Structure 1
């Protein structure tokens, strides 16, 4: 199997935010992905929705054997295991969340489906917190 280099962004604004991120990273690793690099934690205001809960964010570079869709399925499973109930793609809007894991790049692939767009253009080009986290990653 070939290894794919993937950049992920993780965020949490409910509960013990740093612990949530650490738990998600462990679950990604336990699921067969190799963690290559982890950014520093960064706090940020919610983007595209109103909330008084501040986010804690982190960026990762991983190696995975999975396809983009299989990785997305794994990520959605981890989010559900950790208690995330609302998916913004399904609900049509953003809400507070225990964990959010986004695929930002996948081997520099350009991919678009109903459920997934790679690269994640909002993180690369629009969101300031993302640009800070990703400056040494992409």
Structure 2
């Protein structure tokens, strides 16, 4: 089985945000080996209004999962941690205990109803993402 290099971006804006990220990073060990993490970064919500700021972190993992398999595993982690709303299904962003996005997967360009790689909004539009990803991409 070959290993794929994947960059993920994690965010939380409910409860103990940093601890939520640490728990999610620990759970991600079930889908691959973590290579390195960025520093934690606090940011304001993007594309929705909330008084809860986010704590964010980027990580690089190596995984044998395909992009869709990895997405499914990530969604399981989000649900295990108590995430209720999925922005793709609900049609908008809300506060969330955890959000894990696949930013890049090797050099793959992939688009489906469920997943777009690379994640263009994080790579090009969101300032907090650019800060976190500057040493990863």
TM-score class normalised by the smaller sequence: over 0.9
Equivalent position of 2:17 in the other structure: 17
Q: Residues 115 and 45 (structure 1 numbering): CA distance in 2 closer, same or farther, change over 3 Å?
A: same
Q: Distance in 2 between matches of 1:36 and 1:46?
A: 27
Any idea what SS the aligned residue of 1:19 has?
Answer: helix
Any idea what SS the aligned residue of 1:60 has?
Answer: strand
Shift of 1:132: 0.1
In the TM superposition, structure 1's runs of 4+ consecutive aligned residues that sit over 2 Å from their partners are none
User: How many residues in Structure 1 have an aligned counterpart in Structure 2?
Assistant: 137
Equivalent position of 1:5 in the other structure: 5
Q: Would you say the 8 A contact 2:31–2:65 is kept in 1?
A: no
Q: In angstroms, what is the RMSD of aligned CA positions? A: 0.4
Any idea what SS the aligned residue of 2:77 has?
Answer: helix
Any idea what SS the aligned residue of 1:8 has?
Answer: strand
Unaligned runs of 5+ in 1: none
Unaligned runs of 5+ in 2: none
